[in-house]
Structure 1
Amino acid sequence: MILTVTANPALDVSYRVDELRPGQTHRIRAVHERAGGKGFNVSRVLYDQGVPTLALGPVGGILGDSLRADLVDSGVPHDLLPVAAATRMTIAVVATEATMFNEPGGPLSTADWLRLAGLVGEYLPTTDVLVCSGSLPLDAPDETYADLVGLAREAGVPTVVDAGGPVLRAAAEAGAAVLKPNAEELAAAVGFDDPLRGARLLKEAGAGAVLVSLGADGTLLVTDEGEWRAAPPYPIAGNPTGAGDAAVAALADGLRRGLPWPDRLALAVTWSAAAVAAPLAGMMDADTLAEIEGKVAVVPL
């Protein structure tokens, strides 16, 4: 199976409005609440595609109860670790584009981090790929994901990490199999804005491969076997909130199945585009998925 770790879960609330007008009162057309956090979104995508997955994460407080109830209702397999820190909330206001408001996560104790690592260790013997995805709570060490990468390597399990800044750099140095930052997260990790140069630097630091999502400019991939760039066959309109999570799900599934790197890149771009066309993170639009499947051009750099 693919095991996902969401270190900083949230209850995601989405408001749909006709137009976002700062300083004005808004009438909300639709409200959606669901268990949020990048790793949970990855597991949702995998589950919907029939890929075996299990989602792990620490939760606490009333919002933690709501998050747990949503995962139960969705059917996504999970094992949530009860902690004292209250689960946070994120709010997306969606008009022509999404405006995000993300609360910080409450700090976890050292004992809770050790319990979470122990929970991951329990499942590694039955895991094909470990995914560590999303931000960290307040005061969490930058090496939090790197420690899980090391734990997985000892068990012979490759890890995909979706993070940014020093957390991403530490994961590279720990030998993560795949890193999946966006351009901003990559720049925060390497200190400059050139995505190709930054991806090469992180690979030289110890990562097996680095995939960088560049929004409208497509996606680039740096590996030992080659370097490529890819983009959807045409622009996809919608909500990009969960696009990166769908790409991570595709990378993990491609790694699990042993697909060639260009095929993994094409799958990541396809799933990411289908997620943009879906209304909520953790979903893919079936029509878009069917329409662009096999049409993503992968070009060597």
Structure 2
Amino acid sequence: MIYTITLNPAIDYVVKVNSFEKGGINRSQYDYKEAGGKGINVSRVLQQFGQASTALGFVGGFTGKFITDSLTEMKIPYDFVQLQQDTRINMKIKTETDETEVNGLSPTIGEAEYQALLAKLKHLNEGDIVVLAGSLPHSLYKAVYREMVSLLHEQGALAVLDTSGTPLKEAIQASPAFIKPNHHELAELFEEEVREDHDIVRLANRLHQENGINHVLVSMANAGAIYVGDGGIFKLHAPKGKAVHSVGAGDSAVAGFIYKWNDTKDARKAATYAIAAGSATAFSKTLCTQAETDVLLEQVEVIDLSQR
């Protein structure tokens, strides 16, 4: 079974305007609301691929109800810990040329609520895949993901991690099975400059060899990604297209990797599908469909770097 954990979910309120005037009145051309948060996005994309998953995490208040109602409508199972405070709202203002985000404050997670989530993880079984994705609420300590990855190891479950900064630096010590930093996050992790492909390969290989991470997929926006891990070392060139929706592209890549890995256990096929899924979301107005992903799959070029 696949589970996704979103510790800091949100309603994403997307507003499209012709132009944004600071201090003035801006009228929207259209707007819409979506259940958001990186783990929830992964569940939504997996659902598009016909792959079931269960969403875990924290929700609360009327905004939390919007998220659970949305997941029910999409037929995505969930088992959230309920909070007294409202789930946050993130506003994303889109113009023809720019995208501005205003992210809301996260609710406070108490020790009892956190322990309630850990209790759910203790019921998982060997072979389960668990996606830990997104930022941490301000009330949780920076080593939370590290603690969760360690617990998942004890349960025999595979931990997939997509976060950044100190939570990532802490969590890699527990050896998750998969991580997806971008090249800026990789540079920050090692406090080194990343200028060339060989810099990415060298640092990603340290994560693979020294930290025991099976799969390291380093994303580079429209330049594609570099994979280092059990499946070898190779670069993936992303399909060409116009980016119109950056939100959720990384989450779609994570979902694409999990979906294809779960089906084939082939890292090259999984990484290729990840790039196609991330690109399909970037080229769409919302999260990708399987049909959109499959159209782009043949356009992903894979170059072996293991002999370089």
TM-score (norm 2): 0.90
CA contact under 8 A between 2:60 and 2:85: conserved in structure 1?
yes
Unaligned runs of 5+ in 1: none
Tell me, in whole angstroms, the C-alpha distance in 2 between the residues paired with 1:88 and 1:47.
24
Aligned to 1:186: 186
Aligned to 2:25: 25
Superposed displacement of residue 190, structure 1:
2.4
In the alignment, does 2:297 pair up with 1:293? yes
CA contact under 8 A between 1:3 and 1:129: conserved in structure 2?
yes
Unaligned runs of 5+ in 2: 195-199
Cα deviation, 1:147-173, whole Å, max 9, x if unaligned, reads: 221122122211110000121122211
Aligned-residue sequence identity (percent) comes to 31
Superposed displacement of residue 215, structure 1:
0.7
Q: In structure 2, what residue type is equivalent to 1:44?
A: R
The structure 2 residue matched to 1:200, chosen from 197, 205, 212, is 205
Superposed displacement of residue 106, structure 1:
2.4
With over 3 angstroms needed to count, the CA separation of the structure-2 counterparts of 1:160 and 1:50, relative to structure 1, is same
Aligned to 2:91: 91
With over 3 angstroms needed to count, the CA separation of the structure-2 counterparts of 1:98 and 1:287, relative to structure 1, is farther
Superposed displacement of residue 285, structure 1:
4.8
CA contact under 8 A between 1:230 and 1:266: conserved in structure 2?
yes
Aligned to 1:214: 220
Question: Which sits farther off after the overlay, 62-71 or 169-178?
Answer: 62-71
Tell me, in whole angstroms, the C-alpha distance in 1 between the residues paired with 2:176 and 2:290.
31
Cα deviation, 1:180-200, whole Å, max 9, x if unaligned, reads: 122333333322342444423
Aligned residue for 2:248, secondary structure, equals helix
Task: For 1:12-161, list aligned pairs within 5 A.
Answer: 12-96=12-96, 97-122=98-123, 124-125=124-125, 128-161=128-161
Aligned to 2:262: 256
Aligned residue for 1:58, secondary structure, equals strand
Tell me, in whole angstroms, the C-alpha distance in 1 between the residues paired with 2:6 and 2:87.
12
Aligned to 1:270: 276
Superposed displacement of residue 235, structure 1:
3.1
In the alignment, does 2:238 pair up with 1:232? yes
CA contact under 8 A between 2:42 and 2:254: conserved in structure 1?
yes
CA contact under 8 A between 1:130 and 1:160: conserved in structure 2?
yes
Q: In structure 1, what residue type is equivalent to 2:206?
A: L
Aligned residue for 1:266, secondary structure, equals helix
With over 3 angstroms needed to count, the CA separation of the structure-2 counterparts of 1:200 and 1:24, relative to structure 1, is farther
Q: In structure 2, what residue type is equivalent to 1:294?
A: E
Aligned residue for 1:132, secondary structure, equals strand
Superposed displacement of residue 88, structure 1:
1.0
Question: Which sits farther off after the overlay, 148-157 or 263-272?
Answer: 148-157
Tell me, in whole angstroms, the C-alpha distance in 2 between the residues paired with 1:193 and 1:121.
39
Tell me, in whole angstroms, the C-alpha distance in 2 between the residues paired with 1:20 and 1:222.
41
Superposed displacement of residue 51, structure 1:
0.5
TM-score (norm 1): 0.92
Tell me, in whole angstroms, the C-alpha distance in 2 between the residues paired with 1:94 and 1:227.
37
Ranges of 4+ aligned residues in structure 1 off by more than 6 Å: none
Aligned residue for 2:274, secondary structure, equals helix
CA contact under 8 A between 1:240 and 1:276: conserved in structure 2?
yes
Aligned residue for 1:199, secondary structure, equals helix
Aligned to 1:165: 165
Superposed displacement of residue 71, structure 1:
1.6
Superposed CA RMSD in Å reads: 1.9
Cα deviation, 1:199-255, whole Å, max 9, x if unaligned, reads: 233332332221111112211111144211112232342111110000111122233
Alignment: residue pair count: 298
Tell me, in whole angstroms, the C-alpha distance in 2 between the residues paired with 1:182 and 1:111.
34
CA contact under 8 A between 2:48 and 2:290: conserved in structure 1?
no
The structure 1 residue matched to 2:229, chosen from 206, 223, 233, is 223
Aligned to 2:288: 284
CA contact under 8 A between 2:238 and 2:275: conserved in structure 1?
yes
Aligned residue for 2:109, secondary structure, equals coil
